[in-house]
A and B are shown apart, each in its own frame.
Chain A
Amino acid sequence: MRTKRLSQRREPTPSLPKTPTGIGGLDEITEGGIPKGRPTLVCGGTGCGKTLLSMEFLVRGAVEYGEPGVFMAFEETAEELTQNVRSLGFDLDQLIRRKKLAVDFVRVERSEIDETGEYDLEGLFVRLGHAISKIGAKRVVLDTIESLFSGLSDTAILRAELRRLFRWLKDKGVTAIVTGERGEAQLTRQGMEEYVSDCVILLDNRVVDQVTTRHLRIVKYRGTTHGTNEYPFLIDEDGISVLPITSLGLNHEAHNEHVPSGIPRLDTMLGGKGYYRASSVLVTGTAGTGKTSVAAHFARAACERGEKCLYFSFEESPAQLKRNMRSIGVDLEPWERKGLLRFHSMRSTLHGLETHLVKFHHLIREYEPRTLVFDPIDNLLHAGSKQDATSMVIRLIDFLKLQGITALMTNLTSGGLSKEETGMDISSLIDTWLFLRDIETDGERNRVIYILKSRGMAHSNQIREFLISDKGIDLQDVYLGAGGVLTGSARQSQEAREKAARLVRGQELEIKRRAAARRREALEANIAAMRKNFEAEEEEDQQLMQDELIREENQQRDREHLAAKRKADATGREPAPAKMGRRSK
């Protein structure tokens, strides 16, 4: 039973027939319109749009639903009404000529009237009945019937007659809107809500911090479900637009497609591919941390993909923004010329919140962007109370999700706020939340970025240093080590120190290596010398052994010779003596 789009109009539910008002958004929160064939009370203070709402009800009925209507005005003449609604594009004269509309101005001037004796309001009935039958009206507006109470003094008669009038209207089967001025203790001054019991709509025009926001609330709608919240509404050149919270149910699709952030290293941090399509990305940070730069990269990346991007800027004019972004190497101008990028700069205080929301809706409908940037979203806080702004952003995010638009919002956090606070209480709605901050050390500030959360993707938990140069944004690893987390020149000097230390260590090693080599050389030289010594001795030994052998042989020969001389019968030589033991030096 939930509608998905604002523009979609619902069929009346069979249980309780409803008449569509044709007013943008109102049919949605009433789930089909106001009770068919019954009177509805629209009450509110001065200037809250009762007359316009009821007139639009008639005009839309006549133009879009083929239901002629009677406007019984107690406060304004037909001419005044015609003029007043001309600014909304309603041509009453033409509708009257085509017998689609009848306007009857009822003037009840107390100074001209004396009352004596009994009377009733049959004259009013006659006039209304005549007007209805003249054009075959299906819709009736009585604006503001309570004026009768100021013109006629016998309230007992008036009350009885009004009761009769509403019954009479029901009998006629016309769908009526009765307007009433807001009273002190009750909804209307004269307690009209007692008579009109089926549907009561309350309009309200509140000024909070010098900004006006109109609200509409359905106080009562017998026999049907309806939205119970206060809905901001707006009167603009297209009439009234009521802005229901689009997601009465959370039923938007989930996209698996990814949208690059425009900063490659950031994409890596976000699971490698960037944000999800139709997700909402919040970039928070203190002043001067580069939120707009992140937004500009995102916008440029969208344009480079050929997707339309709508850029809402609440602080800078388009020219200023483009100049500033050009200084960091992001040239948005060509994309704007190509029609892929559109800027919309406005002061948030220019309008009330509801006007902003409607403007957003209008622009989004008209331009149909795939990506959207709000820079900064918290500026809308100035356009209304925090609560209103939050509810507006909620509705906006829901709307964007339904439209499949990827939105990047920046949000300025003040130093006093803890980092998890957005100042708008919208963090729970955010799919990807980037946090930018600066770290102040050693007399300098350095920007860092980290991902506070990113739904549905494995994302990095690391803090990265966020560098903005004339070539755009670059993310650097921060120094992580014994010195703690260091960024900026502290990181650089730490790195330099480490490099120097490495160098020194390298040199020491080299020295040691050389010393070892020298020692080895010395050792080898020693070994060689020893070997030479040894060889020399060995040679000597062999020489000695040789000499010994020769001497042995000589002795043998001498002995044999001697034996022979003595004619000894020795048969042979004596075996040679055992080999000599090794001689010691």
Chain B
Amino acid sequence: MKTPERKQSENEMQSVSGADVWKLRLYVAGQTPKSLTAFANLKKICEEHLAGRYIIEVIDLVQQPQLAAGDQIVAIPTLVRKLPEPLRRIVGDLSNTERTLVGLQLKPAGKD
């Protein structure tokens, strides 16, 4: 948990600009253990693989339920990769780092 921007607002975790900026959005529903785990795991992966070029936006659906439909959120927690295209969704607490990396396409799938 070595995230310097942690104290910032939940929705705008980091402000980075650039062409290959990764825009990630994490949907949670309240401060549940799963949400916290997911956030921690995400942060860790980003720091390791995308240091300096990512934005994490955390959306708490308990507070903003109207946002759930927009990104077709069903499961919680869901990580949505808004940028780069194409849009990717990863559900779960991201505890499996390998699969998360594959899902984010930071790493090719095993057989590739």
Chain A residues at the B interface, C-beta cutoff of 8 Å:
104-108, 112-127, 129-130, 148, 151-152
Pairwise interchain contact B65-A119, C-beta atoms closer than 8 A: no
Note all chain A residues with C-beta closer than 8 A to B76.
119-123, 126
Q: Which of B6-14, B17-25, B47-55, B92-100 contacts A (4 or more CB under 8 A)?
A: B92-100
Instruction: Give the complex CA separation of A22 and B87 in angstroms.
Output: 42
A127, B92: Cβ atoms under 8 Å? no
Using a CB–CB distance below 8 Å, which chain B residues touch chain A?
27, 29, 32, 34, 37-38, 41, 61-62, 65-66, 68-69, 72-78, 87-96, 99-100, 102-103
Establish whether residues A123 and B73, one from each chain, have CB atoms under 8 Å apart when the complex forms: yes
Query: Quick one: closest B residue to A107, CB to CB?
Result: B72
Task: Give the residue name and chain of the A residue nearest to B78 (CB).
Answer: A123
Contact B91 A113 (CB under 8 A): yes
In this complex, what residue of A is CB-closest to B34? A118
A127–B73 contact, CB under 8 A? Answer: yes
Number of A-B contacts (CB under 8 A): 100
Please pick, from A106, A112, A148, the residue contacting B89 in the complex, using a CB distance under 8 A. A112
Q: Are A106 and B95 in contact (CB under 8 A)?
A: no
Let me know if B91 and A119 touch, CB within 8 A: yes
CB distance from A19 to the nearest CB of B (A): 25
Contacts of A117 in B (CB 8 A): 37-38, 41, 92-96
Indicate if the CB atoms of B100 and A148 lie closer than 8 Å.
Answer: no
A119 with B77, Cβ < 8 A, contacts A106-B72, A114-B88 known: yes
A124 & B92 in contact (Cβ 8 Å cutoff): no
A-B contact pairs, 14 of them (CB 8 A): A113-B91, A114-B89, A116-B100, A117-B94, A118-B34, A120-B34, A121-B74, A121-B75, A123-B78, A126-B29, A126-B65, A130-B68, A152-B74, A152-B91
The CA-CA distance from A124 to B27 in the complex, in Å, is 12
Q: Which residue of A lies closest to B101 (CB)?
A: A116
Task: Report yes or no: A152 in contact with B65, Cβ–Cβ below 8 A.
Answer: no
Q: How far is the CA of A112 from the CA of B37 in the complex (A)?
A: 22
CB distance from A149 to the nearest CB of B (A): 12
Known: A104-B69, A116-B100. 15 other contacts (CB 8 A): A113-B89, A113-B90, A114-B99, A115-B92, A116-B96, A118-B93, A119-B77, A119-B78, A121-B76, A122-B75, A123-B74, A126-B76, A127-B68, A130-B65, A152-B74
Contacts of B90 in A (CB 8 A): 113-116
Inter-chain CA distance A115–B95, complex, in Å, is 10
Do the beta carbons of B29 and A118 come within 8 Å of each other? no
List, in ascending order, chain B residues with CB within 8 A of A116's CB. Answer: 90-96, 99-100, 103
B68/A108 in contact, CB under 8 A: no
Distance from A110 Cβ to chain B, minimum over Cβ atoms (Å): 10
Closest to B76 in A: A122
A120's nearest neighbour on chain B, judged by CB, is B76
Find out whether the CB atom of A118 lies under 8 angstroms from the CB atom of B66: no
Give the shortest distance, in Å, between A146 (CB) and chain B (any CB).
13
Of chain B, the residue at the smallest CB distance from A74 is B74
Given known contacts A114-B91, A119-B34, A122-B61, A148 and B74 CB-to-CB distance under 8 angstroms: yes
When distances are taken between beta carbons in the complex, the residues of chain A under 8 Å from B100 are: 114, 116
**Complex Cα gap A335–B76 (Å):** 71
